[in-house]
Structure 1
Amino acid sequence: MRRAKLHAQLRGLARDKDGNFAILGAIAIVPIIAAVGVTLDFVGAYLEAEKIQAALDAAALGSVRAYGEGADETEASEAAKKFFWSNYAMPQESVLVEGGNLADTPTQGALSVAFTRNTIEDVAAAEFSFDYKPIFLERLPLAIRRQSVAARAANAEACILALHQTADRAFDVSGSAAVDLTGCTVISNSNDDQSIYVGGSGKLKAECLYAAGAIYGAAQSVELACDKAVEGASRVPDPFKNKVLPKAAAWVDLSGCGQDFISGGGGNGDCNGTGKTPKTNNEGYVVTLKPGTYQNLDVKRAVNLLPGNYIIDGGRLEFGAQATVTGERVTFFLVNGAEISINGGATFNISPSLEGDWAGFSIVAEHGNVETAIINGNSQSSLTGIVYLPDVAELQYAGNGATSGECIRLIAQEITLTGNSTFKMDCTTELADKGIYYPGAIRLVR
C-alpha cells in the first residue's frame, strides 16, 4: 500500500510542469548571477583604475612643475604624493602591493616617481600598483598598475638670469650701454616695479623679456622679437645649484714669477714650474701658469694659462690695465669669499673646457660668495662660457661690443650691463650644450 502510494506521488511530481520550471530556473540563474558578478567586479576595477590614472596625472604634472621650478628630487616627490593622495582615496579593504617604478625598483606600498632632466625638458614619471579586492571574486584580487609621464619643455633660451627676488633693477642696462641679445631672452626673478630697467640712453635688443615684477623701458630703447615683454612671469630657479665645486688645495708659490707680470712675484726664479722668469718687464715675454689653487692671481702683463681649473682661495682674481691674458679650456673658481675684478684696459681671451663636470663654465663663484664682481672687456677681449655667480650681489659686465658676438651667459643676483655688448645665440658647442631656459608648457606624455 505504502509502496503504491509513493509511486503515485512520484508520477504526479513528474507530471507537474510548474515544479520542473522552478528547478531548472534555479539551476540556470547561478551562472547568470556569476556572470553579472564578474562583470561588476571588472567594471569596479576599471573605474578604480581610472581614478588612479587621474590622480597619477595630477601627481606627474604637479611634481614636474615643482622640479622645474627648483625643487630637488626629494621635494618634488613629496609634491607628487600630495597631489596623488589629494585626488585619490584607497577603497576600503584593499590590499596594497609593491608600488613599482619605471626603473623596476619598487617601494612597498608607496607611490613611485622618477625624474630626469636634460637641456630641453624636465620629465616626471609616476607609477602606482595595488591589488583590487573584488566583491564576488574576493579570493582572486585584480592587479591594477598605472603610469603617468609628464614633461615640461624648455621655451626661450636666456643669456641673462637675475636671481634676486625683490631687488630694484635686478637687471639694469645703464648709462649709454647698447646691448644686443638677438635670439636670447632676459629673465629677472625680482617682483619689483622695475625688475628689468632700461634707462638713460641705454638700448636693449633681445628675443624677449620675462620679469616676475614689472619692466621699465622706453619704447624706443627696447627692441624685442616677441610680441611683448612678459610681466608677472614665473620665476626660474638656479639651474646649477646642485653642482659641486672642486676643493682648494695648497697655494701655488708665485715668488719666482716676475714682479711686473704677477703680483707677489719676485722674478729670476721658477714660476709655477714653467720656467725661469725675468724680474722686470721684458718686451715680448709671456709668463706661463699651470692650473692649481692660488691665494691671489693678480695679472699685470702677458700671461698664458694652461688648460685646467684655477681656484682662487679667499683672495682676488684681477687683470690689470696692462694685462694680456690668454687661456683656452680654462675655468676660474672663486672660493672662500674670493673676488674678481677685470679692468677695462685689460686684454683677455678666455674660453672654458668642454669636458668634465664644469664643461662650458668660464667663471664660477661658490654659494655664499656675495662680493660684487666686475668684468670689463675692450674691443680685443673675448670671454666665452657661463659666468655663474649665484649669490654675488651684483655683476657689472661690459662686453667688447663685437658685431660677431660672444657665446656668454650671465647668472647672478643682480646684473648691470654698463658697456656695448653683443651676445651670440648659437652656442651649443662653445657652452658644452649647457643652457638657461625659460620654462615652457607642461604636458602629459603618457
Structure 2
Amino acid sequence: MIKALTRAFVSNRKGTIATFTALVMPVVIGGFGLGAEASYWYFTERKLQNSADVAAYAAAAQLRISREQSDLDSVALAAAVSTGYRTSIGTLTTSWPATSGSYAGDTNAVEITVREDVPRLFTALFSSGDVPISSRAVATLKRSFPTCILALDKSASGAVTFTGSSSATLESCNVHSNSTANDAVTVIGSGVVSTPCISAVGEVSYTSGLTMDTCVAPIEYADAVDDPFAGVPDPSTSDPCEPTNTFAGPPGTAYTIDAGRYCGGLSIKRNVTMNPGVYVVDGGSFTIESSGEVFGAGITLYLTNGATVSIAGTADVDISAPTTGDYAGVLFFVDRSEPNATHIFNGASGSRLDGAIYAASGHVVVAGTSTVGGGCTQIVANTVEITGDAGLGSDCAARGYSDIMNEQLVQLVE
C-alpha cells in the first residue's frame, strides 16, 4: 500500500513541483527580504555619513564667530536635519575639541557622531530591538593661510591655471580662487606645482603634478577671500606727460628715471634704474625687452587707459614696492575700471618682483624662467595663468608689506 502511494506521488509531477515550490519560496522570499533590509541599512549609513559631514563642516564654520558649545550644538543639529537626519530615532553628539582620532584635543576641530536606531523590518522575525547605525566626521577651522596667488573672478573655469610645462614653487604661500566653477583651480598637462595648500570656493581639478605639504587634499567649497587691495586709492593721472618714454640706445647705455606720468607707454630696452615713486603708464604698454635691465626700490607702476604689461623672457628685473604709504606692498596696479586685458610677466632666472601684482579686472600670465622663491611676490587678479617657471614667496611682513591672509578655511579631515 505504502509503495503504491509513493509511486503515485512520484509519478505525479505537478504535485512534486507544487510541493517543492512551497518548500523553497519562503527561503527565496526571506533572501529577498534580508537583501532589501541590508540595502536599507547601507543606504541609511551613507545618509548618516553625509549628515555627519555637513554637521561637522557647519560647526567648524561656526567657530569663526562663536566658541560656545550651545551654538555649535545648534548649528550642527540644524545642518544634519537638513540632510534627512531623523531626530525622532536618533542622537547627535558634538564634541569640541575633538575627542578621538588624529585631531583629539585640537581646539579648532569639531567631531560629530550621528546615530539612528532603525526599527527592524523582516529581521524582526529572527531578532528583537532596533538596529543602531552611526557615522562620524571631523572638520577643522584652519587659520592664517598666507596666499600669494588669488583669483577674484567668481565664476570662471580655470580662474587659476597651471598649464603646459610650468613649474611653480610657492614657498610658504597658498593658492586660492573665488570661482565657484568645478575647475576653479586647474593643474593640467605636465605642469608641476609645489605649495602648502590650494583652496577654492568651487572645486579643484589637478594631476599628479600637484604637491602640497600642508593640506592632505585641496580645500574645496571654501569661503571667498575679499580683495585685499580694494581700498587702495587710484593715483592721480592729471600730471603732465614725461618728455621721454622710451629708453633704448647702444649696448651699455644706462638711465636713471623718475616717477611721473608716461603717456603712450613706457619702453625699456637698456639698463634703467627707477627712482622711488608712482609711475603712471597712461595708454600703450609697460615693456621691458629681452635686452632690458631694470632695478628699483619703493616703486609702484599704475597702468590705465588700456595700458598693459609685457616683460620679455630674458629681461633682468629686480624691483620692489614701497614699504609705507598708500601703495605699500603694491608693485603693479592695473586700473580697476579697465576692461579685461592680458598682462605678461616673464623674466630671467634671477629676476625678482618684490610686491603685489594687482589686476582686479585683468588676466595675469606668468611665463618666465624665474625659479627664485622667498621674498614677497603676490598675484591678485581677475584670473591667473602660470605657463612657465615661477618662484613665489610670501615673506612679506619682513618687508613691511601686508600678507594676504586666506583665514579660517573649513576642511573635513576625518
Q: What's the TM-score once normalised by structure 2's chain length?
A: 0.61
Residue identity matched to 1:252? E
Shift of 1:405: 3.4
Residue 257 of structure 2 is aligned to residue 293 of structure 1: no
| Identical counterparts, % of pairs | 30
Shift of 1:425: 3.2
Indicate if the aligned counterparts of 1:382 and 1:400 stay in contact, CA closer than 8 A. Answer: no
Shift of 1:402: 3.3
CA offset digits 1:313-347 (Å, max 9, x no partner) = 12211111211111111110112221111111211
Q: Name which of 220, 244, 247 aligns with 2:233.
A: 244
Q: How is 1:377-416 mapped onto 2 (pairs within 5 angstroms)?
A: 377-392=347-362, 394-416=363-385
Gap change, CA 1:185 and 1:441, over 3 Å in 2: closer
Gap change, CA 1:294 and 1:427, over 3 Å in 2: same
Distance 2:198 2:409 in 1: 17
Q: How is 1:263-412 mapped onto 2 (pairs within 5 angstroms)?
A: 280-281=249-250, 283-295=251-263, 296-369=265-338, 370-392=340-362, 394-412=363-381
Q: Considering only CA atoms, is the larger Rg found in Structure 1 or Structure 2?
A: 1
CA offset digits 1:336-370 (Å, max 9, x no partner) = 22111111121111111112111111111121222
Distance 2:401 2:329 in 1: 8
Indicate if the aligned counterparts of 1:198 and 1:222 stay in contact, CA closer than 8 A. Answer: no
Q: How is 1:198-213 mapped onto 2 (pairs within 5 angstroms)?
A: 198-213=187-202
Q: What's the TM-score once normalised by structure 1's chain length?
A: 0.57
Q: Which runs of 5+ in 2 are unaligned?
A: 1-60, 66-140
Residue identity matched to 1:373? H
Gap change, CA 1:250 and 1:220, over 3 Å in 2: closer
Shift of 1:404: 4.3
Shift of 1:312: 0.6
Report the number of matched residues.
271
Indicate if the aligned counterparts of 1:396 and 1:415 stay in contact, CA closer than 8 A. Answer: yes
Indicate if the aligned counterparts of 1:395 and 1:416 stay in contact, CA closer than 8 A. Answer: yes
Q: Which runs of 5+ in 1 are unaligned?
A: 1-60, 66-151, 263-279
Shift of 1:224: 3.7
Indicate if the aligned counterparts of 1:406 and 1:422 stay in contact, CA closer than 8 A. Answer: no
> SS of the counterpart of 1:429?
helix
CA offset digits 1:119-176 (Å, max 9, x no partner) = xxxxxxxxxxxxxxxxxxxxxxxxxxxxxxxxx9952110110011111111111111
Q: Name which of 391, 396, 406 aligns with 1:427.
A: 396
Aligned residue number for residue 105 of structure 2:
none
Residue 146 of structure 2 is aligned to residue 157 of structure 1: yes
Shift of 1:285: 2.8
Gap change, CA 1:441 and 1:179, over 3 Å in 2: closer
Gap change, CA 1:286 and 1:200, over 3 Å in 2: same
Aligned residue number for residue 407 of structure 2:
439
Residue 155 of structure 2 is aligned to residue 187 of structure 1: no
RMSD over aligned Cα atoms = 2.4
Shift of 1:399: 4.8
Residue identity matched to 1:253? P
Q: Name which of 146, 169, 172 aligns with 2:161.
A: 172
Gap change, CA 1:403 and 1:348, over 3 Å in 2: closer
Shift of 1:403: 4.8
